[in-house]
Amino acid sequence: MATIALHSRDALTPVTDGDQLWHLAGAWLLSHRSEHTRRAYARDLRAFADWCAAHDLDMITGVRRGHIDAYAREAEEVQGESPATVARRLSALASFYGYLVAEEAITSSPLTHVKRPKVGDDSQTTGLDRSQVRALLVAAAADSPRAGALISLLAGNGLRVGEVLATDVVDLDTERGHRVLRIIRKGGKRATVPLAPSVVNALDTYLARRTDGPLFSTRTGKRLDEPYVFRLVRRLAREAGIANADKLSPHSLRHSFATLALDANVPLRDVQDACGHADPRTTRRYDRARHNLDRHAAYALASYLAE
């Protein structure tokens, strides 16, 4: 079986020609509209393909449930992957083998009865408290106008880094008196995001009247990539004296946005909409105070009945 590699156009390219796996994997990836999903699924499928190659398994016809269980246990116990990561990998494989069943390449999926790791109710991403977010914003503004604008947007709107980096200057607009940014969410859904004055000021300072090209670009005009932002967040966090700086990621700012918005008593449904979460249970994972006994519904009901 050929080892597969991620192609720059978000597909899996074969190292050897005539590989049936390539054709099926490529078609499966193209069935997903989101570029982010295609990239993530391609990485997970490639990791499993490498594992199958190491164990001399035909990935299409030779994989059984026991192999999937062994792969998951090895990821957890040997590689030290988190339950959330293993669950995500298995989700990708379930999608892939489900596609193979639909295309009649196999008769049944080896993932059908596989139990996925239970993921805790709380988000596992390392987040920041209010003072840390403030310190990071100060460090970003001192670093450069681009860093100041980028961190302000990520922290101030809780956007996914991929959503931000995919935008162009022309996606900035005005709507009913609000400065807004038009983005594409996961699944290809378009959304209009209002920008707070502090974010607008940071963006205007950075753009300096530039009217075209990627919203965040390099000195040569190319679009910034996610690895750069990942390194930037950690470097700025270290400069700001933030503990666990080397555990942070761009998603930490999204986590902090949701957590701090809920701490500020923004209604759950409004935070859900701002984050683009399809399921409110996803948003609730960021609510640090949801187990606070002072907020228990029994007290509110007793007060209401006593009125």
Catalytic residue selected from 88, 179, 277, 284: 277
Please check the confidence at residue 3 and state whether its pLDDT lies above 50: no
Q: Give the model's confidence band at 212: pLDDT under 50 very low, under 70 low, under 90 confident, else very high.
A: very high
Please check the confidence at residue 129 and state whether its pLDDT lies above 90: no
What mean pLDDT comes out for the span 5-27? 56
Alpha helices in the chain (DSSP H): 20-30, 35-54, 65-77, 83-102, 130-143, 145-157, 161-165, 197-207, 226-239, 250-263, 268-275, 280-284, 297-306
Residue 287: predicted pLDDT: 63
- 134 catalytic? Reply is no
* Average per-residue pLDDT for the chain: 83
Catalytic residue selected from 186, 223, 235, 288: 186
Residue 83: predicted pLDDT: 82
Residues across the chain: 307
Residue 122: predicted pLDDT: 46
- 36 catalytic? Reply is no
Please check the confidence at residue 34 and state whether its pLDDT lies above 80: no
Residue 18: predicted pLDDT: 39
Report d(CA 20, CA 100) in Å as an integer: 11
- 286 catalytic? Reply is yes
Residue 142: predicted pLDDT: 96
- 251 catalytic? Reply is yes
Catalytic residue selected from 38, 146, 179, 251: 251
What mean pLDDT comes out for the span 247-273? 84
pLDDT in tens, 149-186: 999 999 998 888 999 999 999 999 999 899 999 988 87
Q: What are the C-alpha distances in Å from 32 to residues 35, 36, 69, 91, 92?
A: 8, 9, 26, 14, 12
Report all structural domains of the chain as residue ranges with CATH numbers, in order of start.
Answer: 4-102 (no CATH), 130-284 (1.10.443.10)
Residue 289: predicted pLDDT: 54
Q: State whether residue 184 is helix, strand or coil.
A: strand
Residue 16: predicted pLDDT: 33
Catalytic residue selected from 67, 179, 254, 255: 254
Amino acid at 194: P
| More confident: 305 or 207 | 207
Residue 81: predicted pLDDT: 83
- 222 catalytic? Reply is no
- 186 catalytic? Reply is yes
pLDDT in tens, 44-67: 999 999 999 999 999 988 999 999
